[in-house]
Amino acid sequence: MMNHAKSSRSIRPNMFVVALGVLLLGGCATFSADGGFNTVGTITKDRINKDVIWVRADSDADTVQITVRKLLASPLSADDAVQVALLNNRGLQATYAELGIAEADLVQAGRMTNPHFAYLRTRNGDERKLEWALTFPIIDLLTIPLRTKIEARRFEAVKLAVAGRVVEVGIETRETYVQALAAEEQVRYMEQVKTAAEASADLARRMAHAGNFSKLEHLREQAFYAEVIAQHARARHAATAERERLTRLMGLYGEDTLFKLPERLPDLPSSLPEIKDLEATALTQRLDVQAAKRNTESVAASLGLTKATRFINVLELGPASTKEDPEPWKRGFEISLQVPIFDWGGARVAKAEAIYMQAVNRVAETAVNARSEVREAYFAYRTAYETAKHYREEIVPLRKKISEENLLRYNGMLISVFELLADAREQVASVSASIEALRDYWLAESELQASLNGTPGIRGGGVAKIVGGMVPNPALAGH
């Protein structure tokens, strides 16, 4: 009995040390004040020079509403539309919850699994037996630092993914703004064409009725007028669709949907800035490349944890006591160990290695795609600029000169009014194409920024496309 009591006293202080260590480790895992959102705000500010707010309190919602109403009070510029979308888009607010989920996983990784308490009570007549045991998961305790590092890398990758989604919404809003502006400009131009075509058709009808105009010419004017009506209807539909798409991106409803847009697209810049080292810039700045690297680092760390715990995956240690009436309590300790008889962990290690090689090749693929996408976007950017410039400096001025010459000929009674109107019809295609060319330039400029920021890689999947590729910790997959 004396030897047993001595053994019991030697173990009990060790159990106290273990419990104290668990409490200290659990207390170190806490949530950050910003929830990782400061990183998202910094990236957004650096990339597109806009502010973002994570609405988590009534004061945040009030700030957003006041700012949005102020921006909507005047005709919206492209920058204003982007700012409204980044503040008011509810989809973005939902995306910010990914930060909370990832941080919760990080905090959980820094905390030890709760201890197991077992109690046994048996009775046979007057004989009674009592047993209890309190065990702590030792392996879980020893792997806390590595698990925390893994989840920290995942958290950083989620920050990049969320920031990428914010930048993507900003760029998508800018592109939709350009589309809406161009569509409304086309509507206004088609209204002018419709008015002219209606006058021409009416004149042709009256002259044909008077016998001064052939039936064929009359039908041609009527056909042109009918086609213009159809084109005007399509233009109005396109303008409505683009405006509604812009409204959705900005998260507007009710009276806020009555926002005003400028009457025409911004002018073409006088020259294009030279962008050097496009591919190097893409590889260092693109958010999808950075997120893919972080993902690979996380998977590599998980692989190390899997190898470390392949044989001993469940090891628990703690104090225990037994009692058989009328004997006193007998105190000691209990060890619970998962014995690797059937599963030696080889499958889990092989799975982790395959996941790692998959992640490595994803990074390589992302890098190759980034180089190609930025080259393609830059070529489209320059081509769109040259095309719009050609319309502005060559085609439209030539059409204007032709119109002036025809007007002189008409005043000199060298051509009829219908020849003058026919020339006006030919100008319709040129002016419409000029508007589209200017629109395409601003879209190409936005797409180039998207390519440099890496949002084409995130487009379509948002945060889930990156975060979804982060498989659960391979070391824990067997639980």
Least-confidence region, from 63-77, 258-272, 328-342: 328-342
The DSSP result for 82-100, as a single string, is: HHHHHHH-HHHHHHHHHHH
pLDDT given at position 392? 87
Least-confidence region, from 106-120, 176-190, 327-341, 464-478: 464-478
Confidence at 16, pLDDT banded by 50, 70, 90? very low
Least-confidence region, from 69-73, 137-141, 346-350, 463-467: 463-467
- The C-alpha atoms of residue 115 and residue 137 are separated, in whole angstroms, by 7
In sequence order, the 6+-apart residues with CB closer than 8 A to the CB of 110 are 25, 26, 28, 29, 144, 147, 148, 151
Domain boundaries, the chain: 31-111+143-310+345-476
Mean pLDDT of 39-68: 91
pLDDT given at position 113? 80
pLDDT given at position 20? 47
Supply φ then ψ for residue 272, to 5 degrees. -100, 135
Query: pLDDT digits over 322-335, tens only?
Result: 666 666 766 665 55
The DSSP result for 105-140, as a single string, is: HHHHHTSPPPPEEEEEEEEETTEEEEEEEEEEEHHH
Least-confidence region, from 126-140, 153-167, 361-375: 126-140
Mean pLDDT of 137-143: 75
Chain mean pLDDT for the chain: 78
CA dihedral over 82, 83, 89, 92, signed as positive or negative: positive
CATH code given to domain 31-111+143-310+345-476: 1.20.1600.10
pLDDT score of 116 more than 70: yes
Task: Name residue 199's amino acid.
Answer: A
pTM for the model stands at 0.72
Mean pLDDT of 254-277: 87
In sequence order, the 6+-apart residues with CB closer than 8 A to the CB of 217 are 204, 208, 418
Distances (CA, A) of 180 to 68, 80, 187, 235, 417: 19, 14, 11, 11, 35
pLDDT score of 23 more than 50: no
Query: pLDDT digits over 438-469, tens only?
Result: 999 999 988 888 888 876 433 333 343 333 33
By the 8 A CB rule, do 285 and 452 touch?
yes
